[in-house]
Amino acid sequence: MGMENTTGQTHIPIVLKDGNVCTIPEGSTWIDVAGKISKKLAREVLVVKVDGKLQDLTAPAQANQKVEFLTFEDEEGRNVYRHTSAHILAQAVKRLYPEAKLAIGPAIADGFYYDFDLDHPFTPQDLEEIEKEMKKIIKEDLPIERLEVSHEEALKLFQDMGEDYKVELLQELPPGEKVSLYKQGEFVDLCLGPHLPRTGVVGAVKLLSVAGAYWRGDEKNKMLQRIYGTSFPKKSALDAYLKHLEEAKKRDHRKLGKELDLFGISEEGPGFPFFYPKGMIIRVELENFWREVHRSRGYQEIKTPIILSRSLWERSGHWDLYKENMYFLKIDGEDYAIKPMNCPGAMLYYKTRLHSYREFPLRIAELGLVHRHERSGVLHGLLRVRCFTQDDAHIFMLPEQVTDEIIEVIDLIDYFYRTFGFTYKVELSTKPEKALGSPEVWEKATNALIEALKRKNIPYKVNEGEGAFYGPKIDFHLEDSLGRSWQCGTIQVDFVNPENFDLTYIGEDGNKHRPVMIHRVIFGSIERFLGILVEHYGGAFPVWLAPVQVKVLSVTSRNEDYAREVADFLKDEGIRVELDVRNERVGYKIREAEVEKVPYILVIGDQEEQTKCIRVRARGKGDQGPAEVGEFLQKIKVEIKEKL
């Protein structure tokens, strides 16, 4: 109910995020309400969340609604800001290329894109012209209006406009329902919204690149042109982001992988990486570290087959729910699949003998090679491949051990990530639309994850409906040295597969019971983690991971024998050494070693040979002066052992 004030105007109550109640004139829009709260908020607010749902600022406020005002500091606010930027991009393209047909244009992490069907291939010069037109549209400060029309009206509008992709989208919607459109000046788009109130709210924009993209991500559909861009309220923030992008380009693991001779991907095997000798050194060091830590924490390692029969994948649910991501073959006339996950093999191992409750928690680990079909358009160096080694573990336990075991795994993941200098954020993903198991089982599993996070006092974000088909999960998102986020570690609680595979143990009462199972990975995959590390370190790996830890350089040919003696001594002590005694200037050899990002360069000249010492150059620090060989050896051994 409204309340009348002394002027006779009716006021209504609304509830702010902090729980305070504010009364506003009836008929006020949300932007009016923001202005009443503060001028600063009115300037910065982009969109509102009303009773948990996003709305335009121009929407009318209703009595007793709970409202949260979102700015560019909020992820949802940024998404709306950049979604409107995508509409401005589409409007600019339509002005310059009226024959272009519109597909879709969402906000994405750090920016936006829009897909266009146009025979003319966009060039870098075209992007400059489109960007100029976008700035013109922003300057025009066009009001952005939400329109609700009937399905039939919308269909006729886009048919008349020749927008075939919008028509296709509309034809999939149920007829008879209202459809929302957004209009700015002459431009109209099919969109759920919400959007900014005016085009002039957008500050600084930049178009970044153009790429091919299949309509709806399906290779059977037409290839469209996707223009990527980004936008920020202030030019200074845009400039900082562009600088960040330049740094990221320098650290691109595909570029550095080639320069440092770590890995490659052949045309004969798209998505199937080759590891070269130096890349294998890093990979083996990662695996050795993984094994060392897991053995100390009570894990037992197994190896399961890559190919297993159809009946197994039917039992696990993969045949029905994961088939499109799998590779198949026939053996002796029977259907088999190459494993996309290691868990069914771990369960077959579990069933090889009877188990007692006294064994639990039983921690079974595997560095298992899996294959998953990825579309060619999404393949990306080591970060998105078709075969990779997951550092899996499957832990079997009593129901009352679940929360404590999740905490153990959280602590283990924390130890790994701190070793590499990563910070991380945590997300909880709940039951997806396609899922195995009863609601009660899902609730039980989800509550176990929540309880562990509460006991560890870890803040987390909830992703509704994003869990695995057999259980909810906690995901760990690493933050690298450039502030980018990478999803790697996962903990999944599974009450379903122990049922499907009829896993049992003998309890204290002498009867058979069902164990609970946790699936977990830490690296995620060795390949992807290695790619992330290349970019995180910019190719300058810490000493323990560096393929070449020390490079020994001779100043002249006179010093070759002593340089070789030093190199051989270090090699015998387990240090990875390269010797460079070429007849080149020492400055040239030093620069070459620095480009290769070798942690230590030892220079051997006449003075060093006479005093039987070495001159040490440390990566990023330059000349460290002379040192005794034994003294240097002890120092580098400490760095390797402590993983500094």
pLDDT per position as a tens digit, 467-497: 887 788 999 999 888 888 888 999 998 888 8
* CATH code, domain with 230: 3.30.980.10
Asked if pLDDT for residue 597 goes beyond 50, the answer is yes
Residue type (1 letter), 45: V
CB 67 within 8 A of CB 15: yes
Residue type (1 letter), 282: I
610 tagged catalytic:
no
- The whole-angstrom separation of Cα 483 and Cα 247 is 12
For the chain, give the percent of residues with pLDDT over 90: 81
pLDDT of residue 557: 93
Residues 496 and 363 in one domain: yes
62 tagged catalytic:
no
pLDDT per position as a tens digit, 153-179: 999 999 999 999 999 999 999 888 899
Per the domain annotation, does 241 fall within a domain? Answer: yes
Q: Which domain holds residue 115?
A: 76-249
Per the domain annotation, does 322 fall within a domain? Answer: no
Residue from 83, 87, 355, 372 carrying the catalytic annotation: 372
Q: What is the mean pLDDT of residues 243-268?
A: 94
Residues 25 and 87 in one domain: no
- The whole-angstrom separation of Cα 181 and Cα 147 is 5
Residues 347 and 437 in one domain: yes
Per the domain annotation, does 326 fall within a domain? Answer: no
Residue from 166, 226, 386, 394 carrying the catalytic annotation: 394
Task: Say which residue the tokens 């009443």 belong to.
Answer: 36
pLDDT per position as a tens digit, 372-430: 999 887 889 999 999 999 999 999 999 899 999 999 999 999 999 999 999 999 999 99
Residue 441, token pair as written in the block: 């089982």
pLDDT per position as a tens digit, 272-322: 999 999 999 999 999 999 999 999 999 999 999 999 999 999 988 889 888
DSSP states along 586-618: HHHHHHHHHHTT-SEEEEE-HHHHHHT-EEEEE
- The whole-angstrom separation of Cα 476 and Cα 488 is 6
3-state secondary structure of 292: helix
Residue from 184, 390, 401, 549 carrying the catalytic annotation: 390
Asked if pLDDT for residue 54 goes beyond 70, the answer is yes
Residues 202 and 298 in one domain: no
pLDDT of residue 8: 54
343 tagged catalytic:
yes
Phi, psi of 343 (to 5 degrees): -60, -40
Per the domain annotation, does 257 fall within a domain? Answer: no
> What pTM was estimated for this model as a whole?
0.83
Choosing from 203, 224, 249, the residue where a domain stops is 249
Residue from 473, 520, 528, 597 carrying the catalytic annotation: 473
Asked if pLDDT for residue 1 goes beyond 70, the answer is no
- The whole-angstrom separation of Cα 155 and Cα 174 is 12
- The whole-angstrom separation of Cα 60 and Cα 146 is 12
Residues 624 and 487 in one domain: no
| 345 Cα distance to chain centroid | 27
Q: What is the mean pLDDT of residues 344-350?
A: 95
Mean pLDDT for all residues in the chain:
93
295 tagged catalytic:
no
User: Which parts of 424-474 fold into alpha helices (H)?
Assistant: 439-455
Residues 383 and 514 in one domain: yes
Residues 388 and 474 in one domain: yes
User: Which parts of 399-514 fold into alpha helices (H)?
Assistant: 402-419, 439-455, 496-500
Residues 563 and 483 in one domain: no
Per the domain annotation, does 255 fall within a domain? Answer: no
Residues 293 and 146 in one domain: no
Asked if pLDDT for residue 2 goes beyond 80, the answer is no
CB 377 within 8 A of CB 219: yes
Q: What is the mean pLDDT of residues 6-29?
A: 81
Q: Give every CB contact of residue 610 below 8 A, 6+ residues apart in sequence.
A: none
Residue 474, token pair as written in the block: 């906690």
Asked if pLDDT for residue 4 goes beyond 70, the answer is no
65 tagged catalytic:
no
Per the domain annotation, does 319 fall within a domain? Answer: no
Asked if pLDDT for residue 545 goes beyond 60, the answer is yes
pLDDT per position as a tens digit, 66-97: 999 999 999 999 999 999 999 999 999 999 99
Per the domain annotation, does 323 fall within a domain? Answer: no
Choosing from 38, 71, 104, the residue where a domain stops is 71
CB 327 within 8 A of CB 338: yes
User: Which parts of 97-187 fold into alpha helices (H)?
Assistant: 124-140, 151-161, 164-171
* CATH code, domain with 41: 3.10.20.30
Picking from 177, 236, 227, the residue whose alpha carbon sits closest to that of residue 204 is 236
pLDDT of residue 7: 53
195 tagged catalytic:
no
Choosing from 71, 90, 125, the residue where a domain stops is 71
Per the domain annotation, does 417 fall within a domain? Answer: yes
Cis-peptide, bond into residue 194, ω within 30° of zero: yes
**Residues forming beta bridges with residue 190, ordered by sequence position:** 181
Looking only at the bridges linking them, the beta strands covering 460-463 and 505-506 are: unpaired
Stated as kind and residue range, the H or E segment containing 277 is helix 277-296
Residue from 392, 475, 480, 580 carrying the catalytic annotation: 392
Lowest mean pLDDT among 277-291, 454-468, 602-616: 454-468
Residues 216 and 157 in one domain: yes
Residues 97 and 80 in one domain: yes
* CATH code, domain with 565: 3.40.50.800
- The whole-angstrom separation of Cα 626 and Cα 641 is 23
Q: Count the domains in the chain.
A: 4
Residue from 343, 387, 488, 613 carrying the catalytic annotation: 343
pLDDT per position as a tens digit, 164-219: 999 999 999 988 889 999 999 999 999 999 999 999 999 999 999 999 988 988 87
Residues 348 and 445 in one domain: yes
pLDDT per position as a tens digit, 110-139: 999 999 999 999 999 999 999 999 999 999
394 tagged catalytic:
yes
Picking from 432, 381, 316, the residue whose alpha carbon sits closest to that of residue 534 is 381
Please give the order of strands across the beta sheet that includes 362-371.
Answer: 299-301, 362-371, 387-397, 516-521, 485-494, 473-479, 423-429, 460-463
Residue from 206, 339, 519, 597 carrying the catalytic annotation: 519
Residues in the chain: 644
